[in-house]
């Protein structure tokens, strides 16, 4: 006997399929607008400053220098795991920076997410403006910073004679599901931030905790087995580990965790988008 739940499953699957087709078509249509707004945001960030876009290069350089000094010289931290010998100061700086710039993509977008709609209240009143593009624009700006940081990392690797790895070609494959997860979480936070203004106050502390509880500063292999499983539940753990392996250690990504992560990312992205679209009808009333 077929129950109500079994009868509803085909309907739910059909609705999700229709939603996916509509979302994909709408995303393609909005791409020129998203690209234009992203380019304008990047240029506006440095407009009026003395060095202009050069700041996008100088800031990662300063980050690299500060982290090298603090962790390499002051704390004398070294990277060792899986039978590896402790790294040198320059090696540790490269390993640390490769993890930080991947985490920074997550941090940049999600820290901004709760205030995205609030900061663009003039768009809310415009019925024809697609508010959902605000999140991809924030992600596009963060991706630009990521690319500049990767260029700085490669330049530093060449200076200290650290070999560049061909496995960097896997980086887009690793970052794509990561970006989907960021989009979904940012859409969710952007919508909640309109109705719950306190989210922005708590989020910064939570993201900082996620950074220190992720394999940015230490290899997962140095932890007990039970702790390894817990740490890998961190939403940034898989992309940080896999991206570092590809960028620094010349290792191809393990496909099973990447596929599982991609599946979860797609679910979060779809849920976040649906939630944003369902709740945006009340944005004008709140603002």
Q: What is the pLDDT of residues 44-63, one digit of tens each?
A: 877 766 666 677 778 888 88
Structure tokens at 181: 């997860």
pLDDT for res 129 = 80
pLDDT, tens digit (0-9, with 9 covering 90-100), for 91-101: 888 888 899 99
What residues have CB less than 8 Å from 21, skipping those under 6 apart?
Answer: none
pLDDT band at residue 82 using 50, 70 and 90 as cut-offs: low
Backbone angles phi, psi at 251, to 5 degrees: -110, 135
Q: So what's the pLDDT on residue 22?
A: 54
User: How far is Cα 205 from Cα 103, in angstroms, rounded to an integer?
Assistant: 15
Q: What is the mean pLDDT of the chain?
A: 83
Measure Cα distances from 195 to 61, 78, 99, 189, 278 in Å: 38, 45, 33, 10, 13
Where does the pLDDT of residue 168 fall: very low under 50, low under 70, confident under 90, or very high at 90 and above?
Answer: very high
DSSP for the chain reads ---HHHHHHHHHHHHHHHHHHHHHHHHHHHHHHHHHHHHHHHHHHHTTSSSGGGHHHHHHHHHHHHHIIIIIIIS------TTPPPP-HHHHHHHHHHHHHHHHHHHHHHHHGGGHHHHTHHHHT-TTS-GGGHHHHHHHHHHHHHHHHHHHHHHHHHHTTPPP-GGGGGHHHHHHHHHHHHHHHHHHHHHHHHH-TTHHHHHHHHHHHHHHTTTTSS-GGGS-HHHHHHHTTSTTHHHHHHHHIIIII--PPPHHHHHHHHHHHHHHHHHHHHHHHHHGGGHHHH-
What mean pLDDT comes out for the span 253-258?
92
Q: Which two tokens stand for residue 217?
A: 């500063």
Please report the pLDDT score of residue 51 as a whole number.
63
pLDDT digits (tens, 9 = 90+) for 182-230: 999 999 999 999 998 888 788 989 999 999 888 888 888 888 888 888 8
């Amino acid at each position: 006997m077929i129950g109500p739940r079994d009868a509803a499953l085909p309907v739910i699957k059909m609705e999700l399929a229709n939603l996916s087709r509509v979302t994909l078509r709408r995303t393609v249509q909005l791409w020129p607008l998203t690209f234009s707004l992203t380019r304008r945001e990047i240029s506006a960030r440095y407009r009026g400053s003395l060095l202009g876009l050069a700041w996008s290069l100088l800031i990662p350089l300063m980050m690299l220098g500060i982290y090298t000094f603090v962790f390499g010289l002051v704390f004398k931290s070294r990277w060792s795991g899986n039978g590896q010998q402790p790294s040198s100061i320059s090696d540790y700086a490269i390993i640390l920076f490769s993890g930080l710039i991947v985490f920074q993509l997550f941090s940049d977008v999600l820290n901004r997410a709760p205030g995205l709609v609030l900061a663009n209240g003039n768009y809310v009143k415009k019925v024809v403006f697609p508010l959902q593009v605000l999140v991809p624009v924030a992600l596009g700006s963060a991706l630009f910073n990521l690319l500049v940081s990767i260029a700085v990392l490669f330049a530093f690797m060449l200076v200290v004679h650290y070999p560049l790895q061909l496995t960097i070609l896997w980086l887009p494959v690793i970052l794509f599901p990561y970006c989907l997860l960021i989009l979904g979480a940012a859409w969710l936070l952007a919508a909640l931030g309109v109705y719950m203004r306190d989210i922005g106050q708590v989020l910064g502390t939570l993201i900082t905790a996620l950074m220190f509880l992720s394999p940015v500063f230490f290899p997962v292999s140095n932890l007990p087995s039970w702790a390894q499983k817990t740490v890998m539940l961190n939403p940034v753990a898989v992309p940080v580990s896999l991206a570092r392996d590809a960028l620094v250690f010349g290792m191809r990504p393990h496909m099973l965790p990447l596929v599982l992560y991609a599946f979860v990312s797609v679910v979060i992205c779809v849920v976040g988008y649906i939630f944003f679209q369902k709740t945006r009808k009340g944005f004008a009333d709140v603002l």
